[in-house]
Structure 1
Amino acid sequence: MKDWKNQFIKFILKKKILIFGDFILKSNRKSPYFFNMALLSTGKDLKKLGKFYAQALINLNIKFDLLFGVAYKGIPILIATILALKNYFNLNIPYSFNRKEIKKYGEKGETIGHKIQGKIVLIDDIITAGTAIKNTIKIIHKNKNSQISNILVAIDRKEFGKNKLSAKKEIENKYLCQISSIIDINDIILYLKNKNIMKKKLKTLIRYQEKNCIL
């Protein structure tokens, strides 16, 4: 596993962004682990998070003209990533994000920021059922001069969707776009194995993976 992936897992464990226990997901599936990016609420944390996203965009060779944040959790991640691209890679990239509700006064509309055009990468925290991302894709598709080149999230849980495909694969097939992630559940399992830590949680995680995930 690449070092920047290891560093990211170390970071989210230290910050308790990745926690273990009994959780009910948006998909109503019971999970032994939970990923809560909302706990990163300081400038220092967001600066580090943005660098991980920026590194992923560069290291995975993702092509883009504009970054788009998926409301709500994707918005601070988006801003952190935009700043990291400028500070660490000298890339001055335009950005935009959506509102949850269409504004009917003032400047109006359902998006804020740069005009939506060119190759677009959606930025979000995680894919489980993919509901928020699917809604955002509909907004992007209203703009004729735009194309979703990729969707970048922190973690892909690699879980089955409705038709025994992963939620990721369902979105890729339906909307003809690629989804990338900094890490996935396989990376977490490998990290815990290599570090020889959290052995009981690791066993539970492996059982969950075998039952609910695309291997």
Structure 2
Amino acid sequence: MALAEGNQEGKGAVAQEFVQFALDSGVLRFGQFKTKAGRMSPYFFNAGLFDDGAKLMRLAQFYADRLIQSGVEFDMVFGPAYKGIPLAATLAAELARRGRNVPFAYNRKEAKDHGEGGTLVGAPLSGRVLIVDDVMSAGTAVRESIAAIRAAGATPHAVVIALDRQEKATEDGRDVDHSAVQYVREQLGMEVAAIATLDDLLQYLNSRSDDALQEHRQAVLAYRARYGAG
């Protein structure tokens, strides 16, 4: 489902506020960071540093705001292990606070051989399932989630993430022309909504006069010129 054109202005405001929130929380940092693909990135987004109740509550509000703007329809929420687990739980709680109570589930990486057993925890997977995660680099967690959802007889319908890095994915150690987000959208036919994108981060940096931030902006622009997609 494509975004409604009239929602773009509101999306931009939420994205800029989210970038500021991520910076204030120490989740978004500038410097030199090695990515999973072996690239040296001038910025790093570590959602594990949304590490207290207040930050998680605010993060869930951003996810809920973005979902409302996107118009994505879904029947339940799924969080892939491990970072997706608290994201799914807090998003479900925030949606319930707003009057929409939806079930949620998550998976374990190791199957449990006692009690209820298996790898799935929470509500039974059914209907149109929304996958919630922090970022999508190679798309591995999303693909594993899609397989689990389909195996349970439900429909993997959409994905919501915090940040779309808009950079080329890697396959077999080589850069490809598409990003993981583009692959999920174009090859798997699923909508992906992101609270913010690399474009939003660059817009934020462009709006600041601080010399240090302008240096970071130039580094991010150079990185995007080399690895950008989307």
| TM-based fold match above 0.5 | yes
Instruction: Give me the CA root mean square deviation.
Output: 1.3
Question: In the alignment, what sits opposite 2:134?
Answer: 125
Q: Is the 8 A contact 2:67 2:193 kept in 1?
A: no
User: Aligned residues: percent identity?
Assistant: 31
Match of 1:30 in 2: 40
TM-score by length of 1: 0.94
Secondary structure of 1:3's partner? helix
1:28 shift after superposition: 2.0
What is the alpha-carbon distance in structure 1 between the residues aligned to residue 72 and residue 86 of structure 2?
A: 20
The alpha-carbon deviation at position 10 of structure 1 amounts to 0.9
Between 91-100 and 22-31, the greater mean CA deviation after superposition: 22-31
Per-residue CA deviation, residues 125-171 of structure 1 (Å, 9 max, x unaligned), is 00111122222211112022x21221100001111124311111223
The number of residues matched between the two structures is 213
TM-score, normalised to structure 2's length? Answer: 0.88
Which residue of the other structure, out of 92, 106, 110, is the alignment partner of 2:101? Answer: 92
Q: Are 2:208 and 2:214, in contact at CA under 8 Å, matched by a contact in 1?
A: no
Give the counterpart of 2:121 among 112, 119, 123: 112
Q: 1:182 aligns with which of 187, 192, 195?
A: 195
Counterpart selection for 2:71 from 32, 48, 61: 61
Q: Post-superposition shift, 1:173?
A: 3.5
Quote the residue 1:152 is aligned against: 160
Say which is worse superposed, 20-29 or 202-211, in terms of deviation. 20-29
CA distance in 1, matches of 2:33, 2:56: 25
Who is 1:16 aligned against?
Answer: 26
Aligned to 1:168: 181
Q: Which runs of 5+ in 1 are unaligned?
A: none
Secondary structure at 1:126 match in 2: coil
Instruction: State the distance in 2 between where 1:172 and 1:188 align.
Output: 22
Secondary structure of the equivalent of 1:149?
strand
| 2:206 aligned partner | 193
1:85-111 per-position Cα deviation (integer Å, ceiling 9, x unaligned): 111x21111000010111121100111
1:211 equivalent to 2:219? Answer no
Give the match's secondary structure for 2:207: helix
Deviation of residue 172 (structure 1)?
2.8
What secondary structure does 2:151 align onto? coil
Unaligned runs of 5+ in 2: 1-8
- CA drift at 1:205: 0.3
